[in-house]
Structure 1
């Protein structure tokens, strides 16, 4: 087989692996963005329903109507700047909660995200508290409690009371801040004749979500912080197959993490507790904790305090709870992964830019400009290295012709030439390698940060964290069908392919003709590869390409030897 034919076969194999193997790699390591929040009909953006937005959304298949279930039991209203809902006095449960600052879709009249829903409804999701211990006789799980106030609000706690057996009295005081944190103070009054052992017990019970969005890089499902480590496991299937998972720790928490939402129990961070995840009937799952027991003498009272987070995983808020309010590693509820050291600074810088200009798309462009300015000196050295390599091409070609039958000798002579001319063939790789963690970090920020959710850019782009909905495949929405994702190439991915084409065209052309063919087709292959990703990521790449073209123009002016064919 000739060298040219071997190169062509190698190129065909690589192209086939990219086109057909990339979807498998992408689904495992880089799950695609959520479906677009709009579609284009007759040239106009029309909002699409977002069934994934609401983990407890009502549907015709609901077990019972939620409104009817809520009316059947006495309740205490929850009213905060961020939450609306109620506490169920039958069982002392928080089982009705919506997040008023987050909507299911982009329309003005869209309902708020519902996080918690009572038992008996579709996808029920609730938290409850009781006690365990030798000699205790706490109220039954369905006991009716008495509330001290009809409304729970910031600065206005509510105390729930209920009698138990053996002369014991039980109180649960609930307080809530102006965000998503509840404080739960459980008190037992022992009016009996003997001492008792008291352990507070809390649980979060939920139906498993209809769609499992857990992936290799973004965990969704049961998670905990135990013994100083965040554990993004088990998933729902693990619990179904392997049964309960138990652990003991001092400090930490456990609960259920969705992509943007979290319901987590935080026992007393100074005392040990036993945690557990377990499967239940009817596709239900429970996370619960049992605090270390304490002895309560006759005639005395004992209060044990825990917390309950139920809300959105807002980055700054989770950091505040972790750093200032002692919620151990609550900010790890966001699965940043290995590159957190890069992702968090990028998020904070991007968020600062957004607050400065008021548009996340513009903020991404400014982020790209910042990065390009920082690496410009490195890119200049890269170009100088490429210029030096270009000057060496005639000598390298001569060596290849002279030692074409002795590959080992040819490699030795080429390396000697590099040393003599003081050229590093790998120097040009550094800017590209630097962009990889930046690109991946921005990808994770777009996928994980709720601050990016439903953020518009311009025109038809209503959500930077979703793919581009405008595609010529259906004549920009004039034809009444939605093409599948792998051929629904949007306008922004097309612009990305065009920008890559012109940037590749400006690059010094390799002498090998097969490599030249690879560079010609690569922009269009990458256009299809990138199409399912978030628009914000594509805007970053387009901006980077345009700045790269400008940079190359400047550097070509400084290195005119790079223009035209290499010397012979």
Structure 2
């Protein structure tokens, strides 16, 4: 009767875990309705505030009225300056000199080869607005603003070989110039210069901004940050999300800001300060789901007849680890940490390097994950051997342990002393068997973070799976798409989830059975609960876990063959447990 009650309790608790997990994930971390990037080719409209370029300190220009613009109309101007670089295509708007049109040539919205490129930047007022501007502030001076029409004075197309310069004369002795350059990846270099042809010194303050809507941002969760990001002397700041900025007002990252911007899971837009110049970084809300990151330089004096300039870099692209590390090597402080590897970065980063190496070697990300799993198991193999040796020792001293338990069953302190003496005399460490579990916990979480954040896994195929960064598409309940309905999230069980549950069940079956009936029932149910819990995760993570389970089974088989006494003892204990269960069942039947 007790066992039946315990089984029912275990089933109820498992159901609470299963449905509670699904409810919590859907409530607190809902999946976005669309791909979390600024969609290319979208023509829907949205009322939004236009570019006002108002800095957080109160400097800047006016704020325009609300507008409604569709993407095609916003990009229709023939006056735009084309951007054509190896990994970026887009244009610069001469009105306001905004960089507001960027597509990523090497990344698409979906796995379909005919799908549009991922759109990083879109003009002000469009539904996916996201753009950068470079301005000056000053008192009593006519300055270029968001509606200023700039003239092209150098170049007609921005490429890796040909820079472009825009200029504007305020008619009062000041000529402002913006020189744009671009590299082979996602970095633009913008030099703000002002020449004073007047008779007196003018005080100006250069600043740069990136403005975006939060409506096309990736969802921010407990383990993946999406929102404002900044690097200062204290490190990379992932503390703020959009809602917190809206509630608490402008966020000042301090006067030692190296770079500031916005991050999604895979994409980053960031302003990088000129080396050696003091800058303040801010992020603030403009209302209507618009947010702005700002990089403000100290005010400068521009003497008569002189030219003063500041150079700011703009990163607008994919968070590819190798590319970010390359920029960091070129002097962008902590740029590689724009990918939030988490607490286990010291494991995750080298693990990622191995994974990328294997990917380059075998040419398939799924095979690279399996290869990485094999390497991890080989590294941990000596520890597993020690675990099995410890298990064998514990089995060998069990008769003595039982004798001590019988002798001192009424004297717990003395029993503990005698047990400690037994462990010391027999050279047995009862905690040695737990070591591999503790070691694998950070490894699993580090790899989970790697596979979650790695843009290199995005849209990578493996067997029937088109995208290892997405969930398994082969849902069993709708016969793999043959039936025209989509199962609820917690019932959308794919092939990988079933394999995960099955291989984990086999592991539990192979483990020692020296546990009470309640534990046995829980361990028999747990694999199938985890099957439901893990089903929504990225297919790449499930592939790792399945590979790990299979390798663990092979390892257990091998180690049991090397420790026949342990296997024989386990079989004996199973038989004793079975006989004891039968005896209790017979007694209950008689009663």
Instruction: Please give the TM-score of this superposition, normalised by the length of structure 1.
Output: 0.91
Partner of residue 164, structure 2: 158
- Identify which of 432, 437, 452 aligns with 1:447: 452
Structure 2 SS opposite 1:328: coil
The answer to whether the aligner puts 1:504 opposite 2:503 as a matched pair is no
Greater Cα shift, 478-487 or 205-214: 205-214
Partner of residue 285, structure 1: 291
Offset, 1:156: 0.5
8 A Cα contact 1:208 1:285, kept in partner: yes
User: Per-residue CA shift, 1:180-236, capped at 9, x if unaligned?
Assistant: 111111111101111112321111111222566111221101111123421113211
The answer to whether the aligner puts 1:229 opposite 2:235 as a matched pair is yes
- Identify which of 384, 389, 397 aligns with 2:389: 384
The answer to whether the aligner puts 1:527 opposite 2:531 as a matched pair is yes
The answer to whether the aligner puts 1:51 opposite 2:14 as a matched pair is no
Greater Cα shift, 399-408 or 527-536: 399-408
Distance 1:511 1:417, change over 3 A: farther
The answer to whether the aligner puts 1:374 opposite 2:379 as a matched pair is yes
- Identify which of 406, 424, 432 aligns with 2:429: 424
8 A Cα contact 2:44 2:70, kept in partner: no
Structure 1 SS opposite 2:75: helix
The answer to whether the aligner puts 1:539 opposite 2:543 as a matched pair is yes
Q: 2:411 & 2:12 partners in 1: Cα distance? A: 27
8 A Cα contact 2:22 2:490, kept in partner: no
Q: 1:120 & 1:434 partners in 2: Cα distance? A: 51
Offset, 1:60: 3.5
Q: 1:139 & 1:210 partners in 2: Cα distance? A: 29
Partner of residue 493, structure 1: 497
- Identify which of 75, 80, 83 aligns with 2:85: 80
Return the structure number with greater relative CO, CA threshold 8 A, min gap 6.
1
Offset, 1:155: 1.8
The answer to whether the aligner puts 1:483 opposite 2:467 as a matched pair is no
Partner of residue 169, structure 1: 175
Distance 1:24 1:478, change over 3 A: closer
Unaligned runs of 5+ in 1: 36-48
Q: 1:255 & 1:73 partners in 2: Cα distance? A: 30
8 A Cα contact 1:250 1:269, kept in partner: no
Structure 1 SS opposite 2:231: strand
Distance 1:482 1:13, change over 3 A: closer
Partner of residue 473, structure 1: 477
Offset, 1:513: 2.4
User: Per-residue CA shift, 1:89-147, capped at 9, x if unaligned?
Assistant: 01100011110110000111000001111112112111111112345432232111111
Offset, 1:301: 1.0
Q: 2:314 & 2:218 partners in 1: Cα distance? A: 24
Q: 2:100 & 2:353 partners in 1: Cα distance? A: 34
- Identify which of 104, 110, 127 aligns with 2:109: 104
8 A Cα contact 1:456 1:463, kept in partner: yes
Structure 2 SS opposite 1:144: coil
Structure 1 SS opposite 2:239: coil
Offset, 1:5: 8.9
8 A Cα contact 1:228 1:252, kept in partner: no
The answer to whether the aligner puts 1:125 opposite 2:130 as a matched pair is yes
Q: 2:395 & 2:24 partners in 1: Cα distance? A: 35
Partner of residue 38, structure 1: none
Structure 1 SS opposite 2:491: coil
The answer to whether the aligner puts 1:93 opposite 2:84 as a matched pair is no
Greater Cα shift, 383-392 or 183-192: 383-392
Correspondence list, 1:332-411, <5 A: 332-411=337-416
8 A Cα contact 1:339 1:441, kept in partner: yes
Partner of residue 197, structure 2: 191
Offset, 1:414: 3.1
8 A Cα contact 1:251 1:271, kept in partner: no
Distance 1:247 1:534, change over 3 A: closer
Partner of residue 44, structure 1: none
Number of aligned pairs? 550
User: Per-residue CA shift, 1:339-358, capped at 9, x if unaligned?
Assistant: 11111111110000000000
Partner of residue 149, structure 1: 155
Partner of residue 224, structure 2: 218
Superposition CA RMSD, Å: 2.6
Distance 1:402 1:16, change over 3 A: farther
Q: 1:392 & 1:8 partners in 2: Cα distance? A: 31
